[in-house]
């Protein structure tokens, strides 16, 4: 083997981790056919089948498992090294946040901020992975949780509220139910205990089964907007769909979630030239007065 096929190995590791070719292709900004082509070349090169289709996506074969265990960690180390060596403007602040929060909350607020600060560069990293400030060149992050993370400062932005939402068409077909009769409608479930908490607090009887289960909040909201049923929406993420007329809250009652939104950052970030400007803006957008 005269040349190390890093593009093919990267495709293999990404597909193995996600166990889904479509999501892996999206993560790598490739088409599924391009990703499959890289996989096929690697398998032909090694003479082994590395991934097999399973009931829920793709699974590692024994040969694939051996290769993954051998190359995944070194590939991560290469990525970390390249990130550290990459040049970065001193006037750039890198902010990490989950994709749904970027779309629903941060990005709509950005144009006015960037217009007021044309000299400042803001690098957004949209990822569901919790950033490691010790290993990654990230200056601050928006996190959802209990507010206690080791090695970083955390500042409360706002709590998260849970509210039943459905599409206007769904409401037209079923009507707005009394709060205690909510369980009689087709409900969309998630793996959490949110519906149980809702019925415990506001009354009513949970359904024996949910129309569908979702493990991703954004997909849950989209399913409700398509008229599949009633979802317990996260207000921060559902609000843009409510403003757009695609979702309606079914009641003024809200359930406070046991997690909240925080701005977090390591001590080192406070010495960056534009850190204070970005921090103050994020806090102001959240309705918090900077200390």
Round to whole Å and give the CA distance between 137 and 30.
25
Are residues 152 and 196 located together in one domain of the fold? yes
Residue 190 falls inside a structural domain: yes
Round to whole Å and give the CA distance between 152 and 125.
18
Contact 229, 188 (CB under 8 A): yes
Round to whole Å and give the CA distance between 232 and 246.
15
Residue 238 falls inside a structural domain: yes
The enclosing domain of 210 has a CATH number of: 3.40.190.290
Residue 45 falls inside a structural domain: yes
Are residues 40 and 103 located together in one domain of the fold? no
- E strand or H helix that includes residue 257: strand 255-265
Round to whole Å and give the CA distance between 289 and 291.
6
Round to whole Å and give the CA distance between 164 and 188.
10
pLDDT tens, position by position, 70-115 = 888 877 776 665 555 444 455 689 999 988 888 889 988 999 998 8
Final residue of a structural domain among 85, 119, 135: 85
Are residues 154 and 266 located together in one domain of the fold? yes
Are residues 115 and 33 located together in one domain of the fold? no
Final residue of a structural domain among 56, 85, 114: 85
Token pair for 277 = 């400007």
Contact 233, 206 (CB under 8 A): no
Are residues 65 and 167 located together in one domain of the fold? no
Are residues 186 and 273 located together in one domain of the fold? yes
Three-class SS state of 51: strand
Three-class SS state of 124: strand
Final residue of a structural domain among 58, 85, 112: 85
Residue 221 falls inside a structural domain: yes
Are residues 176 and 119 located together in one domain of the fold? yes
Look at the block and give the residue holding tokens 């209990």: 146
Q: Which pairing describes strands 121-126 and 187-189: parallel, antiparallel, or unpaired?
A: unpaired
Residue 80 falls inside a structural domain: yes
CB half-sphere exposure, 37, CA atoms < 13 A: 5
Are residues 41 and 184 located together in one domain of the fold? no
For the chain, 291 residues long, give each residue's pLDDT as a single digit of tens.
Answer: 445 577 888 889 999 898 888 888 877 777 888 888 888 888 888 889 999 987 778 899 999 899 998 888 877 776 665 555 444 455 689 999 988 888 889 988 999 998 899 888 888 988 877 888 888 889 999 998 888 888 899 999 999 999 999 999 999 999 888 888 898 999 998 767 789 999 999 998 888 889 998 877 888 999 999 999 999 999 998 998 999 999 999 999 999 988 899 999 999 999 998 999 999 999 999 988 766
Query: In the chain, how many domains are there?
Result: 2
Are residues 33 and 103 located together in one domain of the fold? no
Residue 164 falls inside a structural domain: yes
- E strand or H helix that includes residue 242: helix 235-243
Helix axes 32-46, 6-18, angle to 10 degrees: 110
Token pair for 161 = 């509220």
Are residues 143 and 29 located together in one domain of the fold? no
Range of the domain at 98: 88-291
- Please list the residues that pair with 60 across neighbouring strands: 51
Are residues 50 and 108 located together in one domain of the fold? no
Contact 52, 59 (CB under 8 A): yes
The enclosing domain of 55 has a CATH number of: 1.10.10.10
Residue 1 falls inside a structural domain: no
Are residues 121 and 188 located together in one domain of the fold? yes
């Amino acid at each position: 083997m005269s040349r190390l096929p890093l593009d093919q190995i990267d495709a293999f590791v990404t597909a193995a981790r996600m166990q889904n070719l479509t999501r892996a292709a999206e993560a790598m900004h490739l088409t599924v056919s391009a990703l499959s082509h890289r996989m096929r070349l690697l398998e032909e090169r090694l003479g082994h089948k590395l991934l097999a289709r399973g009931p829920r996506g793709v699974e590692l074969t024994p040969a694939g498992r051996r290769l993954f265990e051998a190359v995944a960690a070194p590939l991560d180390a290469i990525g970390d090294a390249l990130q550290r060596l990459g040049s970065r403007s001193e006037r750039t602040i890198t902010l990490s946040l989950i994709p749904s929060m970027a779309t629903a909350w941060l990005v709509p607020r950005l144009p006015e901020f960037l217009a007021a600060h044309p000299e400042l560069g803001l690098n957004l990293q949209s990822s569901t992975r919790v950033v490691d400030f010790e290993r990654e060149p990230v200056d601050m992050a928006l996190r959802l949780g209990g507010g206690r993370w080791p090695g970083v400062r955390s500042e409360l932005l706002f709590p998260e509220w849970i509210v039943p939402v459905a599409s206007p068409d769904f409401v037209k077909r079923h009507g707005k139910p009394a709060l205690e009769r909510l369980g009689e409608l087709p409900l969309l479930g998630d793996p959490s205990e949110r519906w149980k908490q809702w019925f415990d607090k506001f009354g009513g009887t949970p359904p024996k089964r949910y129309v569908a289960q979702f493990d991703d909040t954004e997909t849950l909201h989209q399913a409700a907007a398509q008229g599949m049923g009633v979802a317990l929406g996260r207000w921060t993420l559902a609000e843009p769909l409510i403003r757009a007329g695609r979702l309606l809250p079914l009641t003024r009652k809200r359930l406070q979630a046991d997690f909240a939104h925080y701005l977090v950052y390591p001590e080192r970030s406070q010495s960056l030239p534009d850190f204070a400007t970005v921090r103050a803006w994020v806090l102001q957008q959240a309705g918090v007065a900077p200390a």
